[in-house]
Structure 1
Amino acid sequence: MCKKSLILMLSLASAVLLACSKAPEPVMSADTQASATSNSDNKIVVYQVFTRLFGNTNTTNTPWGTLDQNGVGKFADFTPQALSAIKAMGVSHVWYTGVPHHALVRDYSAYGISHDDPDVIKGRAGSPYAVKDYYNVNPDLATDPANRLAEFEALIARTHQHGMQVLIDIVPNHVARQYQSLSNPAGVSDFGANDDTSVEYARDNNFYYVPGKAFSVPQWPADYAVLGGEPHRAADGSFAEYPAKWTGNGARAAQPAFDDWYETVKINYGVKPDGSYDFDTLPTGYADKDWPAHYAFWQGKDVPDSWLKFRDITQYWLAKGVDGFRYDMAEMVPVEFWSYLNSHIKHTNPNAFLLAEVYQPDLYRDYIRLGKMDYLYDKVEFYDSLKLVMQGKGPTSALVETQQRMADIEHHMLHFLENHDEQRIAAPEFAGDAKKGLPAMVVSATISTSPTMLYFGQHVGEPGAGDAGFGKASRTTIFDYWGVPQHQKWMNGGKFDGGTLSDEAKALHDYYQKLLSFTANAPALLGEYVELHSANLAAGTNYSEQQLAFARYNDQQKLLIVSHFNSDNSVDFALTVPAELISQWQLADGNYPLNDKLGGNNYQLVVANGVGSVALQLAPLASVILEL
């Protein structure tokens, strides 16, 4: 979810503890549960793909264009060739973004699907975070919309056959204003179906209401028109909703602002309008307990209806073979609910991969330890500091400081350089050159034991150029039908061999593939971290705040990693390897060969009087990963 106005809208979402009811029985044996873990034996690499854009070969790219004009990708476009090419980049998990059926401007009434109103849709293809039906998938993505769920199930099977796991979005904080499921299992009612709409709040209401007032669409800015101004039978500046519901970001007015998440409505988790809780909380000490203890706590507890609905939704997708979830705006939902939901998920699949979007660092540890999240976005801490380094606006020392400060939870902080919310590296608004992402990607992928995430098109330098309709360039659109030019060149008509890329883009892809394939199989990256930055700054050589050096090691492998962020000049210096690390590695005085896992060149570690030194000459934006 776009997060422009989110931090100030968290009056109902704080970080504390949770509540429940009778849950499904596990599908794994007790022995499997006891031995299973959410942590991989290899470093995890997540490939985020915006599903409706991935397979689209249409290059028309008309702003506000229809599906027929601009095309759309399908589940079927994830062919064995496509999945093999993704796997070749070291990928272990594919996050298929935008799979659940969300509101969009297209007529699917022939399949029993109700029309959506463009006045409460962002773009023409719609936001993937305005979910309309949690028990089915986006009909745009199917070759045969009537068979859309089976087509996605086939994609799950193909992904598994290629040795990768499947992640999808769950958006617990809000749903589309026109939520209507056609595929509810027996006994499952829609969100809001049983609400008492005469009151602002009731514990088991799924929504919050503005009693006695009808919803009004926002006041549109002067430079905005629904569907770009194209006439449409339903684009009439109104949407029938009485009484009005609170908007997804917590806005309580019957007429939300244009900057609010007006296309969505806020889910009620038993948090009263004054912020107090209407459910049980976890006892003291549960931050130190594992998920089975959390699961046991919630057995027999009476919890709000919305908790049960999302428990059932996630269990539904687990039963279909989905291996985990990415949770949108998790910080806007009380951490108690996450203890409940995630412990139920782990009870069914202890290996489930659970990734959450949280942007307030003071909440990180609660959502990991109390909410039982496996991973959080490392956005506000590591990514934001790394972005400044890439732009030449910040020192690399900030990365060292962040890594040290987050040491107790570093494994849980997923690293990335791009995702659907962030600017593309190659965009002028970010770095203006995809190559500036290379040293940053080396650092991001190797400095911690956490997973690494790669956004589709990043590895071939996609700049996110072109205004697709709703929203502006520098980020690849998530609201409209569109073709992604650099990614399409990598697809090369379904060959996925990069055959129509420029030589520069091919080299970029090859670099990413070599780097991520190495990280996915390097045991040292699940081992110890030692920063070498401070010692090298103090050494008085040419090493500066434009370089970053650290060591990663375990009993199987020892690595020295150095990245150079200057895009204009080479640098020569002797890398100092402090006596403490030489002692830990049990190296006597002498010469030790080093092999660069990125460039294949050979170097030498010289140990004299218990201190190590490596002579390095790094070209602009170059990195080395030196294996002892």
Structure 2
Amino acid sequence: MKRLLLLLTLLAAMTACRNTPAEPAATSAHPGWSYRSVIYEMNVRQYTPEGTLRAAMRELPRLQKLGIDVVWLMPIYPIGVLERKGTLGSYYAISDYTAVNPEFGTMEDFDRFLAEAHRLGLRVILDWVANHTSPDARWIREQPADWYVRDSLGRTIVQYDWTDIAKLNYDNADMRAAMEQAMRFWLDRGIDGFRCDMACEVPIDFWRTTLTALRRDYPGIYLLAEGEDPALHEEAFDASYAWELHHLMNAIARGEKSPAELQRQVEKEDSTTPPEAFRLMFTSNHDENSWAGTEFERMGPAARVMALLTFTLPKGQPLIYTGQEMGYDHRFAFFEKDPVPQWVENDLTGFYRQLIRLRHDHEALAAGERGGETVWMEAGTLPEGVVGFTRRKGADEVLVVANLSNREAVCDPALQEPRSEYFSGKRLAPGERITLPAWGWALFTSGQEAAAQPQQSTAAQPM
């Protein structure tokens, strides 16, 4: 009997341990680790002077210290030579889906990178280009002609100004199967998922069939679509791009759109996407940086407050691109070697570290269905150009008041009890008014005092 009681006690203890992890044990729409995660897009070619996976691996502890959860590697596969753009070519003109670009190293180098990332607690997702290959890819040489879309003369098709690609034919079942097998090749090596390039250009039924099968065989993978169609969330992807919101932020920063449109856009996206949808939010990425300019070119002094919004708006999953964490104000050449000259820590590094800590510490800021309810402050209670909202989940609360204008504003954040502003540490009493500098903000949380490193230049000051 004693042995039976001991066994029952042990089983109860094991069950309790299983049911009280950092994330709830209930069935989730997404991997439990992903809800409060922050993604970092690594441009391997430009990340170090060497531009290799081995050199990039040395920077992983720095990303861990910053608080990053997921490292998204831009395409690491061999790329084509035929019609190559520039000297080195585009990462997205892939010639072989199951190999490593010699420019970046070897498969052994990749395996070491992945193992080190996992040792540090980082997840790794690969950029997957399913829409097209290079015009001299292995499949062009080795597979039937009807694996590709061709014109009346039998030539492969290019899209837009992508003269270095050949579009794949998704009417071909064998090609679809080969694409799935290529994705499995990397999942078998232990990666944590994919960011799928130009996902809207690939038939949605391919994603629904393939990704469902991959999730069944590789539980816990994370899948991000470069696309904005709500259908991408139906039995397919965890997250999609919030492109419209990003472009609106650029327009508000330039004074071309009213800050009041921010709430309308967020509410529109909330109504058109499923409750569980993650929305990738960013002030920069590889496309924006190289072709539209850095966040400082596009947003000027509004860059920081817009970054703050990407970490706090509903459904949002924030992205940091190569160099943003130190305010590197440079457009990377896309087809040439153009490395970051030196990695340094500065006030931007501290700012992003605070934002990441904020997201990790507050369940109200989780993406998807686990995020807190969003309550917007009524427009009449705030000065023109200022927006405010609260995210609430149970007892957890985050209040954001953001001045999206180029002039100083004074307002009452309507606190219910004394709180310390998260960034500046300034204590504010209920009814006390604050001064928001141009493009400044105030952020208050429940159950937590100010962050460790004040940001005096943009945080609010009590009146």
What are the residue-to-residue correspondences of 1:139-538 with 2, within 5 Å? 139-142=102-105, 148-180=106-138, 190=139, 193-195=142-144, 197=145, 205-210=146-151, 213=153, 243-247=154-158, 249=159, 260-270=161-171, 304-359=173-228, 364-370=229-235, 372-379=236-243, 381-408=244-271, 409=273, 411-422=277-288, 423-426=292-295, 428=297, 430-431=298-299, 433=300, 435-464=301-330, 475-484=331-340, 488-489=341-342, 491=343, 497-498=344-345, 506-526=346-366, 527-533=371-377, 535=378, 537-538=379-380
1:393 to partner: Cα distance: 1.8
Residue 400 of structure 2 is aligned with which of 555, 561, 567?
A: 561
1:330 to partner: Cα distance: 1.0
Distance change in 2, residues 1:262/1:419 (3 Å): same
Residue 571 of structure 1 is aligned with which of 384, 388, 409?
A: 409
Matches of 1:261 and 1:44, distance apart in 2: 33
Distance change in 2, residues 1:260/1:424 (3 Å): closer
Distance change in 2, residues 1:304/1:614 (3 Å): farther
Given residue 552 of structure 1, which amino acid in structure 2 is its aligned partner?
A: R
1:595 to partner: Cα distance: 2.1
1:462 to partner: Cα distance: 2.4
Aligned length: 412
Q: Which has the higher contact order (CA 8 A, sep 6+)?
A: 1
Q: Which protein has the bigger helix share? A: 2
Q: TM-score, normalised by structure 2?
A: 0.83
Matched, 1:50 2:43: yes
2:15 equivalent in structure 1: none
1:489-548 Cα offsets, whole Å, 9 max, x none, are 3x2xxxxx43xxxxxxx2222112211222133212123233434x1x213x5x112x22
Distance change in 2, residues 1:330/1:33 (3 Å): farther
1:477 to partner: Cα distance: 2.1
Matches of 2:326 and 2:215, distance apart in 1: 36
Matches of 1:614 and 1:44, distance apart in 2: 34
SS for the counterpart of 2:284 is coil
Moved over 6 A (4+): 32-36
Given residue 84 of structure 2, which amino acid in structure 1 is its aligned partner?
A: I
1:90 to partner: Cα distance: 2.5
1:328 to partner: Cα distance: 0.9
Distance change in 2, residues 1:627/1:33 (3 Å): closer
Given residue 346 of structure 1, which amino acid in structure 2 is its aligned partner?
A: R
Matches of 1:365 and 1:139, distance apart in 2: 37
Larger radius of gyration: 1
Given residue 31 of structure 2, which amino acid in structure 1 is its aligned partner?
A: S
1:576 to partner: Cα distance: 4.1
1:622 to partner: Cα distance: 2.0
1:293-349 Cα offsets, whole Å, 9 max, x none, are xxxxxxxxxx71121011101110001111111111111111000111111210122
On the 8 A contact 1:442/1:563 being kept in 2, the answer is no
1:594 to partner: Cα distance: 1.1
2:31 equivalent in structure 1: 38
Distance change in 2, residues 1:447/1:151 (3 Å): same
Q: TM-score, normalised by structure 1?
A: 0.62
On the 8 A contact 2:127/2:195 being kept in 1, the answer is yes
1:91 to partner: Cα distance: 1.2
Given residue 364 of structure 2, which amino acid in structure 1 is its aligned partner?
A: A
CA-atom RMSD, angstroms? 2.3
On the 8 A contact 1:561/1:626 being kept in 2, the answer is yes
2:459 equivalent in structure 1: none
Where structure 2 has 5 or more consecutive residues not aligned to the other structure, the ranges are: 1-24, 447-463
On the 8 A contact 1:524/1:556 being kept in 2, the answer is no
1:179 to partner: Cα distance: 0.5
1:218 equivalent in structure 2: none
1:575 to partner: Cα distance: 2.6
Residue 419 of structure 2 is aligned with which of 586, 589, 594?
A: 594
Matches of 2:63 and 2:395, distance apart in 1: 27
